[in-house]
Amino acid sequence: MHIDMDVSPDYPLSWQARALTSVMRGTLKPASTVLMRHPLALVGAARLGELARLMPLRLPDHAVVVPAGLTGCGGEWIRAGEGLDEHKALLYFHGGGYFSCSPRTHRPITWRLSVVARRPVLALDYRQGPVNPLADSLADALDAYECLMRRGHAPEDIIIAGDSAGGHLTLATLLALRDRGLRPPAAAICLSPWADLTDIPRRANRWQDPMLPASRVRWLARHWTCGLDPRDPLVSPVLGDFTGLPPLMIVTGSTEVLRDEARQVAERARLAGVPVRYEEWRRMPHAFPILADVLPEARLAFRHMAAFLEAVEARAAARGDTAAA
């Protein structure tokens, strides 16, 4: 697989995708439009997220989850598949707009990432709003990365990944690590990253997105950036200088309201010399890999992630051989 390229997978749209996006358009999107209009809505959504932690989620027999006491904020280790390399790790940041969800809600992603990356996954339970600001989430992410290194994981044996707000946290973490002079991970994967928190109107896909109302994304960005400079690259990574960052894979849906900022991240990273695998999946909803239990396209996306990670390893091995010669 070539790492540095744009891809538009042309798989036939499944009936499951057609049905699911129709349901989302008629339920999730109007509900978000009505409810997400007051800070108290964030409190209510966060409490619902706490209840989601109690819901039973079915995992395959080969997937094992254990609590992680590696950092102060906690999380969980998930191991799935066979032949995992315990010397390596994948650090995962879940999505949820910085106010909802948890490592538990994102197990459909994390156990599959453990399989395709052939390593344990540390799903971080980082601090979120409305109680905690963005800086606390980033501090937790950086602490988890340094904890992995203290645990004996070399940076080249670490991968960072995240979806939506977790994709934002992935990019901010990469930039912060670089700015602190710390060695970057081997690669990063961003699924539908929320990368631009400036006060911009999102016109592209405003009506096509089956899940996210553009106006509510803008409202949420205003809420989280209150008192901050929204043009700070650690707040809006899309404005950052990506020099020195590792290879990136960015996966997004063609009808997402966040699609354009994912494209802009890919473009800016390439300008800085970073190899970027940008994949834009036709008519897929926001962060669609989390729907892999029901969407065939989401399961296919993990095959693409596996190929990307194999290409990253081959690239690193080739560079090592060249250096040795």
Structure tokens at 176: 């912060």
Contact indicator for 89, 122 with CB cutoff of 8 Å: yes
Q: Is 287 left (phi over 0), alpha (psi -120 to 50) or beta?
A: left
Reading the block at residue 112, the tokens are: 């599959």
Gyration radius of the chain's alpha carbons: 18
Catalytic amino acids? 164, 256, 286
Question: Using CA atoms, how far apart are residues 153 and 41, in angstroms rounded to an integer?
Answer: 40
- What's the rounded Cα separation, in Å, for the pair 242 and 264? 12
Look at residue 280 and give its three-state secondary structure: strand
CB 80 within 8 A of CB 62: yes
Name the strands in the sheet holding 158-163, side by side, starting at the edge strand that comes first in the sequence: 5-7, 276-281, 248-253, 187-191, 158-163, 89-93, 121-124, 75-79, 64-67
- Cα torsion 142, 138, 51, 80 to 10°: value is -40
